[in-house]
Amino acid sequence: MSCGKDGGKCGPGNVFLVGTGPGDPELLTLKAVRVIQKADLLLYDRLVSNDVLDLVGPDARLLYVGKTAGYHSRTQEEIHELLLSFAEAGATVVRLKGGDPLVFGRGGEEMDFLQQQRIQVKVIPEKSLNVDCNLPLISVSVTGTAASGIAAELGIPLTHRGVANSVRFLTGHSRKGGTDPLFVAENAADPDSTLVVYMGLATLPSLALKLMHHGLPADTPAAAVERGTTPQQRVVFAELKDLADEIASAELVSPTLIVIGKVVALSPFWPHSSKEASCFLEAV
C-alpha cells in the first residue's frame, strides 16, 4: 500500500481515537471532522452512525470492527494488531468509537497498547456542548460523554441547582469476572444526584429494585433513550418503578442510555399529568 494519500515514503503513522458522541454528526468537533476526512483508514464500531461515516473521504478505507452481545466481528487483540500494522505502514489511522473513546470503552486499552509499541496516539474526545434550550429553568452548559448530547437534546440538565448537585456515570455491563455493577446501587441511590446508566437494558430491572431498596424513591423521574440524537431516536419517560416495564412495552433495544433523577422532570417532554405516568417519543 502507499503510505498516506501523497504516496510518500513509508514511516510510522498516527492513530487517532475519535469519539463520535451519540450519533448526530453536528455534535462532532471541528478537529474530529478534519481528522475523519483526512484519514487513510478508519476502524469503526457498531455504534458509529451512518451520518458520521458519510464524512469519510472518498479514498479512505473503512473497516468494521464492531461488537454485539455474543458476537465480536474482531477480538480486541485483533483490533490492536490492525491499528498497529496500518500505523507501522505509515497510514493515518482513525479509530472511530461511539460516545467518548475513554468512557466505558476499550479506548484506554488501545491507547496503552499502541504507546507501548511507540506509535503516536492522539485522543479526540466528544465535544463540550453548550446548549440554550430557550425554555424556563433550562439553560445548560455540559461537558463530557454521549450523555451530554442526549440529555441536552431532551432538555434534561444533568445537574441543576436545588435539584441535583452531582452526576454519576455507571455501566450496566461489566467484563466477565469483573465487579457486578449492581453492587454500586447502595452508593448510587442518592435523590440529590443524577444517575446515567450505559449498556443497562439487561440489568435495569435488578438495578431499579436495588436503588429503591436503598432509598431512592420509586417515583423518581427517569428516561430511556434509544439511539439518542439520531433520526432513529426513541424515548421512554417513566417513574423509576415503571421504567423497566415501559421499556419492554416500547421494545427499546441497544444502544439505549438511561437517565435517573429529579432533573428528568425538568424536560419539557416529561409527562406532568398524573394520568400520564409515562410517555413514549419517536423522532420525526
pLDDT, tens only, 164-201 = 999 999 888 665 544 455 667 888 899 999 999 998 99
Kindly report whether the peptide bond that precedes residue 22 is cis, defined as omega within 30 degrees of 0.
Answer: no
Please tell me the distance from the alpha carbon of residue 8 to that of residue 3, in angstroms, as a whole number.
6
DSSP symbol at 21: B
> Low-confidence residues of the chain, pLDDT below 50?
1-10, 128-144, 177-179, 274-275, 284
Cell of 125: 474526545
Are 259 and 142 contained in the same domain? yes
Q: How high is the pLDDT of residue 115?
A: 87
Please tell me the distance from the alpha carbon of residue 51 to that of residue 37, in angstroms, as a whole number.
13
Query: Which residues are part of the catalytic machinery?
Result: 45, 67, 199
How many structural domains comprise the chain?
2
Are 141 and 276 contained in the same domain? yes
State which of 71, 101, 124 marks the end of a domain: 124
State which of 61, 93, 124 marks the end of a domain: 124
Q: How high is the pLDDT of residue 273?
A: 55
How far is residue 228 from each of residues 5, 99, 253, measured CA to CA in Å? 34, 11, 12
Largest interatomic CA distance in the chain: 69
Flag whether 1 is in a domain: no
Full domain range(s) for residue 177 = 129-282
Q: How high is the pLDDT of residue 272?
A: 67
Are 117 and 161 contained in the same domain? no
Please tell me the distance from the alpha carbon of residue 154 to that of residue 45, in angstroms, as a whole number.
25
**CA nearest to 146, candidates 197, 181, 70, 194:** 197
Q: How high is the pLDDT of residue 208?
A: 96
Name residue 128's beta-bridge partners: 143
* CATH code of the domain in which 228 resides: 3.30.950.10
Cell of 20: 463520535
- pTM > 0.85: yes or no: no
Are 150 and 115 contained in the same domain? no
Taking the CA atoms of 49, 52, 57 and 63 in sequence, report the sign of the dihedral they define. Answer: negative
Q: How high is the pLDDT of residue 68?
A: 82
Flag whether 9 is in a domain: no
Are 119 and 145 contained in the same domain? no
Please tell me the distance from the alpha carbon of residue 108 to that of residue 125, in angstroms, as a whole number.
12
Residue whose cell numbers read 473521504: 57
Q: How high is the pLDDT of residue 101?
A: 80
